[in-house]
Amino acid sequence: MREMTVTILSSSFQCEVVQAESGRQAIEILSKDDSFDLIISDFNMPDGTGADVYNYVKKLPAKIPFVILTSQKKNQLLAIGSEIPIYQKPLSKQDMIKMVSDNLKSVARQPRKTFVPISISLLKQMKSINTALYIRLSATKFVRIFYEGVALDPADLNKYSEKGIEALYIESIDSQDFLATLTKTIFSDLAWKQVKEENVSESFKLNVELLRNIGEHFKVSDELIELTKNHVEAAIKIISKDRAFENIVQRFKKTENLHFSDHCLLIVHMAGFIISNMKLEKPEQQLQVVTLAALIHDSGIDDRLFDVKMKYLYANKLRHLKPTYSDELDIYEHPSKAATLSNSFEFCHPDVEIVIGQHHEQADGSGFPLRLKAKEIFPLSALFIVAEDCADFFMRFYPKPNWESYIASRKGNFAEEPFRQPFELLIKQLK
């Protein structure tokens, strides 16, 4: 969150930003140099609160504007009272710019065509970035060292930090894109943390019986059933923040025609099952991505169209689909439409959009709408496709699916990576 704030500030204003990790560190910095134009402080910090910093700043001869940026509610900040402005984080870029402009007498906006520093520690936390990275040789000279879309190898970044370089640069023209990706990664993480703290139990109709039932076929633990339930409930709460998802939330409150909610629930369960058996990096984050993707991926398909889609699926007519009438067209377009919808929601991790947009692709290129081949498909999308395929097969032949025929009919489809590993892990767990 702090790194994001720094990136927004340095890409928007002509300024130098000094960071402190704790209240005490902030006070130490201020004791040596109090020539700051603005202090933005969190409230709860590991060592010294925002109130401690404020009490120190108040006594300084230089009257430095001070604001609190916190996730606490205002009434929880009694120690600060109403003397200073309190902002609720996370703040969007626009709100952050407004906060600075409102609290500073004069501030110059960053002119165009400059470079924005991104700290190496932040870059190490990002798997890949969608912009080129530069190194600064002098005040005006920058050289490109990473091209856009390249996966960032921490070892490469270490080479620079070992030389004492703290930041690399992006072109300010790219900062909008960079910030959008970064913001969504951070906001999504925060949203999950927040809903976990809220203990309000909502009455969603989750068919847990179904999970127990599939557990009779696979070596599924009771913990995983609980985990699925918790993640789906949390994800419904997260998407409830935006009216655009109202129809999905309502479908989880229905008691009749559970196709949609059962379908989503089962995908989360099977995907969670694969993730827990695969040694993936950041498994918790992957499960969060998959859960939001499962809830949103078929949002454009209503109950009637859902039945049409299933008929097409069972008749193997979704492969090489060339839409000729409106239902087919709606089916054909639903992955891209749902992906776009998820993209406009700031609490969705950027990977959610990718998984949703690719959820009807096939390894051999016969899927839709992008006709991607196996090697072009994102690994988490492939995992999702395998989970959905297994969930659909289970529902089709419920309660007695013939798994031998399932394996025989899917072996060819899922022979190539990134499908092979999730598929093999899944069938290995069959009882």
Point out which residues bind Fe ion (CB under 5 A): 298
The set of residues, in sequence order, having a beta carbon less than 8 Å from that of 16 and lying 6+ positions away, is none
* Residue 249: CB minimum distance to Fe ion, A: 17
Q: How far apart are CA 82 and CA 103, in angstroms?
A: 15
* Residue 335: CB minimum distance to Fe ion, A: 6
User: Which residue's CB is nearer to Fe ion, number 231 or number 297?
Assistant: 297
Q: Which residue is nearest to Fe ion (CB)?
A: 298
User: Which residue's CB is nearer to Fe ion, number 298 or number 351?
Assistant: 298
* Residue 307: CB minimum distance to Fe ion, A: 13
Beta carbons of 76 and 104 less than 8 angstroms apart: no
* Residue 385: CB minimum distance to Fe ion, A: 10
User: Which residue's CB is nearer to Fe ion, number 174 or number 298?
Assistant: 298
User: Which residue's CB is nearer to Fe ion, number 171 or number 298?
Assistant: 298
Q: Which of 38, 173, 55 is nearest to 115 (CA)?
A: 173
* Residue 107: CB minimum distance to Fe ion, A: 48
* Residue 188: CB minimum distance to Fe ion, A: 21
* Residue 151: CB minimum distance to Fe ion, A: 28
User: Which residue's CB is nearer to Fe ion, number 66 or number 368?
Assistant: 368
User: Which residue's CB is nearer to Fe ion, number 120 or number 391?
Assistant: 391
User: Which residue's CB is nearer to Fe ion, number 77 or number 265?
Assistant: 265
User: Which residue's CB is nearer to Fe ion, number 36 or number 312?
Assistant: 312
* Residue 289: CB minimum distance to Fe ion, A: 16
* Residue 24: CB minimum distance to Fe ion, A: 51
